[in-house]
């Protein structure tokens, strides 16, 4: 089992040395700028408020909050740090899925996932 962990730690180290991972970490760091955090927080708060108010849709006018959300989404779409982060995040996620498929390919092919009644 120790040998397996050694291989996994080596794999993790190799992934952290890949350009995709490095680009993601750099984008993540830029995302933490105060102006970006404020924009993301405002978006989250408005989303939560909208979901809460939507429960009372028949009694509440949602046009103001929808307008605010649209404005925040536009600001986020124009923010290069946020766009770069999501781009790098998707690339890293794709790479990790690719690695997972390689790691578990033979295992998945050998296992049967049929349901048995006991």
Q: What confidence tens digit (pLDDT) does each residue in 80-101 have?
A: 999 999 999 999 999 999 999 8
CA separation for the pair 111, 36 (Å, rounded): 45
Percent above pLDDT 70 for the chain? 91
First to last CA, the chain: 32
Instruction: Give CA separation, 114 vs 80, 85, 104, 107, 111, in Å.
Output: 47, 40, 18, 15, 9
Residue 12 lies in a domain: no
Residue 2 lies in a domain: no
CATH number at residue 42: 1.20.1500.10
CA separation for the pair 105, 97 (Å, rounded): 11
Range of the domain at 72: 18-99
Residue 36 lies in a domain: yes
**Does position 118 have pLDDT exceeding 60, yes or no?**
no
Residue 71 lies in a domain: yes
CA separation for the pair 66, 50 (Å, rounded): 8
Residue 111 lies in a domain: no
Residue 4 lies in a domain: no
Residue 75 lies in a domain: yes
pLDDT band at 62 (very low <50, low <70, confident <90, very high): confident
Counting the structural domains of the chain, the total is: 1
Q: What is the pLDDT of residue 59?
A: 77
Residue 106 lies in a domain: no
For residue 82, what is the enclosing H or E element?
Answer: helix 80-110
How many residues appear in the chain?
118
């Amino acid at each position: 089992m120790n040998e397996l962990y050694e291989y996994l730690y080596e794999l993790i180290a190799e992934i952290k040395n890949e350009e995709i991972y490095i680009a993601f970490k750099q984008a993540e760091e830029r995302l933490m700028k105060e102006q970006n955090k404020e924009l993301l927080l405002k978006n989250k708060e408005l989303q939560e408020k909208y979901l809460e108010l939507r429960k009372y849709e028949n009694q509440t006018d949602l046009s103001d909050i929808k307008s605010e959300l649209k404005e925040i989404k536009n600001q986020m779409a124009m923010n290069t740090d946020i766009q770069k982060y999501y781009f790098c995040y998707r690339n890293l996620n794709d790479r990790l899925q690719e690695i997972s498929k390689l790691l578990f390919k033979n295992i998945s092919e050998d296992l049967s996932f049929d349901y048995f009644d006991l």
